[in-house]
Amino acid sequence: MSTFKDLQLLSDAAYYDRCNYVNYNVDNVLEETDKIKDGIYHAKAGSRDVPLFKILMTNQCNNDCAYCTNCIEHKYQRARLSPEALARIYMKYYESNMVEGLFLSSGIIKDADTTMEEMIEAAHILRNKYSYKGYIHLKIIPGSSKDHIKHAMQLADRVSINIEAATKDGLSDLSSTKNYDKDILKRLDWIDNLHRRDHSLASSGHTTQIIVGANDESDEDILKQVYNLTKKYDVLYNYFSSFTPVKGTPLETHEANNPKRTGRLYQTEYLFNQYNYTLDDIVLDDNGFLDTNNDPKYTIALENMDEYPIDVNTAKYKELIRVPGIGLKSARRIRHMQSQGKKITSLKQLQELGANIKKCKIFVKVGGSYQSTLESF
């Protein structure tokens, strides 16, 4: 019964670490659906639902992160699992076909290296005692030694280290126990260098997370760092955790973040990664924030109406993918028709190729004509 209670507490406390790759399609804002029940977290990989066992080694923590339910100042029930107990529980879930992988994080047990040692030991037991060959994602604790990081990467398919804020000052607003440059960015650099030298180390790459709305950072601050992390440290995914105040923490009276803001950040990152947009392309208001009412691709197109409409029968691929409502697949289909000498003669035909006509029709010319106003939206 004690272990069951610990399991519930530690799975609930793991909510705040994001590991779910959600395709925030540039034509749709998806609500965050990070939910954990009985330790099982349903991540999305494309259209596939992947159940993960998502848990902390402990919710005890020596850090004072003002947003976090596990911060040292928050007075609530603490729990801790030994590496052996965690590995044994996970294997029961796995052998019962309830989960397909492990996502393991932790509060700070004593210091960064002591915590990493216990997480590494749990992964080691799974790999060696239980001969487990499946997916493991290990969180890297800020301030961990390079040896511990390398050992974790030898055992895990993926690792991540949370930067939590986009700037040094932003992190200072949230925590006095972490050094942005030394404890986080330096470790991220180590992870990147280790992976570049040996792709078998954390072979599925590395990720990070930013808390959105817990400090005064603008979307511009966040997007500059996201762009930098992707280019400089080869970060696979930048996850955005929408701040929600937790009673009993220093930020319990702080306003909750608008989830639409997080969605727009995901969409913008998607434009960076999949559509080759740059920071200079992004449209922000005078305070450095994205428009939460429209997806960023649409906002950018409206800002550049002098470039439109484009003729779908002659436009190049890089022009097509910049049109709101035309995604990567539909752009390839349009280009395929061009290569065959076939013409698109109606909006209906364009829609059949996968385009969102409501979004794209004022930006494209079909059959020599185009929709010149927004009236029919």
pLDDT for the residue numbered 167 = 97
Per-residue pLDDT of the chain (377 residues; tens, 9 = 90+): 356 667 666 766 666 665 554 444 544 444 444 555 567 877 766 667 788 999 999 988 888 898 887 777 777 788 899 999 999 999 999 999 999 999 999 999 899 999 999 999 999 999 999 999 999 999 999 999 999 999 999 999 999 999 999 999 999 999 999 999 999 999 999 999 999 999 999 999 999 999 999 999 999 999 999 999 999 999 998 999 999 998 889 999 999 999 999 999 999 999 999 999 999 999 999 999 999 999 999 999 999 999 999 999 999 999 999 999 999 999 999 999 999 999 999 999 999 999 999 999 999 999 776 665 544 43
Token representation of residue 283: 């449209």
- Separation of alpha carbons 335 and 346, rounded Å: 16
pLDDT for the residue numbered 26 = 46
How would you write the chain as a 3-class SS string?
A: CHHHHHHHHHHHHHHHCCCCCCCCCCCCCCCCCCCEECCEEEEEECCEEEEEEEEECECCCCCCCCCCCCCCCCCCCCCECCHHHHHHHHHHHHHCCCCCEEEEECCCCCCHHHHHHHHHHHHHHHHHHCCCCCEEEEECCCCCCHHHHHHHHHHCCEEECCCECCCHHHHHHHCCCCCHHHHHHHHHHHHHHHHHHCCCCCCCCEEEEEEECCCCCCHHHHHHHHHHHHHHHCCCCEEEEECCCCCCCCCCCCCCCCHHHHHHHHHHHHHHHHHCCCHHHCCCCCCCCCCCCCCHHHHHHHHCHHHCCEECCCCCHHHHCCCCCCCHHHHHHHHHHHHCCCCCCCHHHHHHCCCCHHHHCCCEEECCECCCCCCCC
- Separation of alpha carbons 204 and 200, rounded Å: 9
pLDDT for the residue numbered 69 = 79
At the topology level, CATH places domain 2-211 in: TIM Barrel (3.20.20)
Residue whose entry in the numeric block shows the structure tokens 């305070």: 287
pLDDT for the residue numbered 179 = 96
pTM as predicted: 0.87
pLDDT for the residue numbered 78 = 82
pLDDT for the residue numbered 206 = 96
pLDDT for the residue numbered 7 = 67
Longest dimension (CA), the chain: 72
pLDDT for the residue numbered 293 = 94
pLDDT for the residue numbered 1 = 39
